[in-house]
Amino acid sequence: MFRLIRMILLVLIAFVVGVFYERNAQAEACAAQGGTLRAKLCDLP
């Protein structure tokens, strides 16, 4: 039972880290174009 709970927690943590990693990559790509990331959209001047 402990293995199942541990596996679910590890998958959940990996998913959350992946979401934050992708969000950061998107923000950096937007900033490289000279914009700002607002509400998941790149706001270019």
Residue 11 covered by a domain: yes
Count of the separate structural domains present in the chain: 1
What is the H or E stretch that residue 19 is in? helix 2-32
DSSP three-state, residue 43: strand
pLDDT of residue 43: 87
Q: Can you list the residues of the chain whose pLDDT is less than 50?
A: none
45 is a domain residue: no
> pTM for the full model?
0.75
Q: What is the pLDDT of residue 39?
A: 85
Closest CA to 33 of 44, 23, 21: 44
* 28 falls within a domain: yes
For residue 26, what are the domain limits?
2-39
Residue 21 falls inside a structural domain: yes
- Give residue 5's pLDDT: 97
